[in-house]
Structure 1
Amino acid sequence: MRSSKRDAAITVGGAPRVDLLPPEVRAERRAASTTRRTWLGVVVLVAATVVASGAATLGSLSAADDLTVVQSETSTLLAQQAKFSEVRDTQSQVDLIESGQAVGGSTDIDWATYLRSVQGTLPVGVTVTSVSLDQASPLESYAQGTSPLEGSRVATVVFTATSPTLPAVPVWLDGLATLPGFADATPGSVAFSDGVYEATVTMHITADAFSGRFDEKDD
């Protein structure tokens, strides 16, 4: 006679056990175990959320700090650029003034120094008593002579000198020829009055006499 499957599940020789708990108690225990596992999952989820939130907060704070640093550096650069802009504006004004001086002073002649040099070429006892000056302008060309014997000029000096003796005008002209910018010189009238001789000389000057005081200098 074959044994049924239920009979095969019976353990022979085992310790006898009897489950006297009511089904309701077992159900409550299973529910309590399930509840504990559920709360454990909730705690783990909350902890993970807190960690993630903290990391995000730290990242946000770090980004905010970086932004503050960048903004501070930008403000510093803008302030420096503003200072440099003021310097550039000032330098531009200086350059403009210097350019204006270079143009306006391009025909400048240091007449005080030049006339002292004229006096220095004359013989002892000869004194310059009057001077008439005419020179080029940076805005227009200087009028040139009509005689082919007259050289190119940028200025004309007409001076009168007195001498206790008869003027040796050729000697005067030889001395004037040593001056920078000398183009030519022409003697004028010679007169005698009150015991002195008075002679007039017309002298033309070239661009070599320009002072160059206002020329733009290379750095």
Structure 2
Amino acid sequence: MSAAGTGVLARLRQPVGQGRAPRQLVGGLPQVSLLPGEVRTAGAIAAHRRVLIGVVVVVALVAGGAVALAQQAAAGAQGRLAMAEAQTAAVDGRIAKFKDVQALETRITEGKAAVRVGSSTMIDWQAQVDAIEAAMPSNYTVTAIGANGATPLAAYPQGRACSSRPASPRSP
């Protein structure tokens, strides 16, 4: 067949609808539809309604399948959660055997922290003496260093002495 022949057949196979010319069969008997346009429109509406109902049914089936899959996944997750909780309880039971060791480790850690806090106010005297000697001229020698201090419970003696007597100006 030629290209022109296939175009004619394609036009002949087109359905009759709005804005299209009626089909003409070559060699067939002519036909005329005497039904009013409303009947043809009602048929088209019924066809659209059937397609719409089919789409709604397909969507409902897909949604039902999705719900079923979600429920199955939730049931699997619940099972895995129950297994994990059982394992956690078993591990907690094994750890409870070592409660005394954990308490001892806690006490040791707290003791070390207390030593660090208590010794944080201590002065490294050797470093202080080395710094003083480094700043002094070479012909000087440190023979003695004296220090005094206070405790959190007792007042510093010099502080009491200074606060009880008024300060006097220095004479030039």
TM (normalized to structure 2)?
A: 0.42
Greater radius of gyration (CA): 1
- Bigger fraction of residues in helix: 2
- Bigger fraction of residues in strand: 1
